[in-house]
A and B are shown apart, each in its own frame.
Chain A
Amino acid sequence: DTAVSQTPKYLVTQMGNDKSIKCEQNLGHDTMYWYKQDSKKFLKIMFSYNNKELIINETVPNRFSPKSPDKAHLNLHINSLELGDSAVYFCASRRAGEQYFGPGTRLTVT
């Protein structure tokens, strides 16, 4: 009965590969987000979708492409992975003013 789930929890891959991270929420929320947390623990918003529509697209390399097949899912695809992409990626969904975060996906690019 997890509210916001992400898969995988850990992802280790080599530079140049393409990978996807999946996020699902069972809270019935319309809005979902992707955040990146770097090694200094700074959390920065990347994207937001509202009812499958992209509404926030921060200054993120276009190697990152979010996809929302329905309002319960928001996936993140990353092409041509670079060392600097190593971070923890958090998905969140929002009802009114409160966000609910997933457990995070630790991505390590070698």
Chain B
Amino acid sequence: DAKTTQPPSMDCAEGRAANLPCNHSTISGNEYVYWYRQIHSQGPQYIIHGLKNNETNEMASLIITEDRKSSTLILPHATLRDTAVYYCIVRVEGDNFNKFYFGSGTKLNVKP
């Protein structure tokens, strides 16, 4: 019941921008898009989230298409420490709950 699809892996040169795509074609109007990453087997770490507008923080930028069916996470200057699995997630909100549906993740390999 994954709500997102991601490429299994991507390579990026150190210092370059990493652009990670995600498709969420069945997303509903009030469902947020989240990105987390997992380094080795540590707990996933929050990166960024958004609903309709593009978002930017100190870690990354999130570009969401106008129809909201896809998004791109941008790491502007990738470093070796950004090598990780990046998960695109849809958050479904109910009356008293929030469910986070993780995609299968993209393994980003940052190379020197």
CB distance from A59 to the nearest CB of B (A): 10
Report A20-58 CB contacts with B as 1/0, cut-off 8 Å.
000000000001010000001111110010100001100
Is chain A's binding surface mostly helix, strand, loop or mixed? strand
Is chain B's binding surface mostly helix, strand, loop or mixed? strand
- The CA-CA distance from A98 to B35 in the complex, in Å, is 10
Could you say which residues of chain A place their CB within 8 Å of the CB of B34? Answer: 97
| B97 interface neighbour in A41, A55, A92, A101, Cβ under 8 Å | A55
Nearest-neighbor residue (CB-CB) of B85 within chain A: A41
Count of chain B residues with a beta carbon within 8 Å of a chain A beta carbon: 24
A65 beta carbon closer than 8 Å to chain B: no
CB distance from B63 to the nearest CB of A (A): 18
Report A87-104 CB contacts with B as 1/0, cut-off 8 Å.
010101010011111111
Asked whether B45 lies within 8 Å of A50 as measured between CB atoms, the reply is no
Count of chain A residues with a beta carbon within 8 Å of a chain B beta carbon: 26
B104 beta carbon closer than 8 Å to chain A: yes
Asked whether B96 lies within 8 Å of A101 as measured between CB atoms, the reply is no
Report B77-112 CB contacts with A as 1/0, cut-off 8 Å.
000000001010001000011111110110000000
Q: Which of B1-31 contact A (CB under 8 A)?
A: 2
CB distance from A37 to the nearest CB of B (A): 8
| B contacts, CB < 8 Å to A | 2, 32, 34, 36, 38, 41-46, 49, 85, 87, 91, 96-102, 104-105
| A contacts, CB < 8 Å to B | 4, 31, 33, 40-45, 48, 50, 55-56, 88, 90, 92, 94, 97-104, 106
